Amino acid sequence: MNTGSTDVFVDHRNLLFTVAYEMLGSAADAEDVLQETWLRWVDVDRAEVRDERAYLVRITTRLALNRMRSNARRRESYVGPWLPEPLLTTPDVAEDVELADSVSLAMLTLLETLGPTERAVFVLREVFAFGYDEIAAAVDKTPAAVRQIAHRARDHVAERRPRVEATPSERDRVMQTFLTAVATGDIQSLMDVLAPDVVLVTDGGGVKKAALRPILGRDKVVRFLDAVSEGLEAVADLVVVNGAPALRIVLDGELDTVASMVVEDGLVTGLYVVRNPAKLARLDEVVTLTR
């Protein structure tokens, strides 16, 4: 085995994982893509490679695109809404505001509305600032076509992003209020922290109780949360998931739910609740993401 190739791959591994994860929304799929990237990389003649970082990203991108297309077919039979797999992240992710935003569950869910090539171009350009020529080589398009795709993807994302970004202190205050309301069963406090047009998306994967479609409106959201929590003895706390605070709920000593929120103007406008056990399996290890 070529030690030099191993060192280069290890040096860029976190970047490659982040690229794959942002394209796929699944840590398990991202790990599979990295394994395939490694197998291809060890067979490469490095003397022919001018930019090792760009070359590795190109391999990862192409493999992730293939995985995205096959996943699209499988998701047609997925029970209820599909949400990205949440990850416990290191504090430095939260400090990189752009990276934290790009890996938030809200953003990854939004990116699901893009086609595979559009998503790849958006991630490589807007998050990692790759040049159009580099992206063109990765997605097998001309630089001119990539510019047009990037423009379309930017417009698509901009139209659907939160109207006003909350400050970290405002978001933390709202999250703490929400946590206290859930822990004490204070329905009025919960109502006070939710926006009138709040949207709740739950992912149970057909295994855990979850709504089969998004729930819109404060009253309906509160009724649903009250119904699913009735009679349950839960322990809730705040953790850093995908670069932002999220609610972790433990039932009978086992992780049951992770809830991420979008906060605008001091109110929760979006709730992303993951209950699918397969997507919570990695929540006991901290993942290092990087740009």
- What would the pLDDT profile of 191-214 be if each residue is shown by its tens digit? 999 999 999 999 999 999 899 999
Cβ-based neighbours of 198, under 8 Å, separated by 6 or more: 216, 217, 218, 221, 267, 268, 269, 270, 271
pLDDT reported for residue 278: 94
Chain-wide mean pLDDT for the chain?
Answer: 92
Full DSSP string of 206-239: TTS---SS-EESHHHHHHHHHHHHTT--EEEEEE
Q: Which of 194, 195, 211 is nearest to 203 (CA)?
A: 211
State the average pLDDT over residues 270-284: 93
User: Pairing between strand 286-287 and 88-89?
Assistant: parallel
Of the candidate ranges 22-31, 165-174, 237-246, 257-266, the one whose mean pLDDT is the lowest: 165-174
- What would the pLDDT profile of 85-136 be if each residue is shown by its tens digit? 999 998 889 889 889 999 999 999 999 999 999 999 999 999 999 999 999 9
Residue 228 pLDDT more than 80? no
Instruction: Name the token pair of 83.
Output: 């949400």
pLDDT reported for residue 290: 93
State the average pLDDT over residues 133-154: 97
Residues in the chain: 291
State the average pLDDT over residues 64-71: 95
Give the global pTM.
0.94
Comparing 104 with 47, the larger pLDDT belongs to: 104
pLDDT reported for residue 231: 64
User: How confident is residue 1, by pLDDT bands cut at 50, 70 and 90?
Assistant: low
Residue 154 pLDDT more than 80? yes
Q: Please state, in angstroms and rounded to a whole number, the distance separating the CA atoms of residues 212 and 219.
A: 18
pLDDT reported for residue 232: 67
State the average pLDDT over residues 149-177: 88
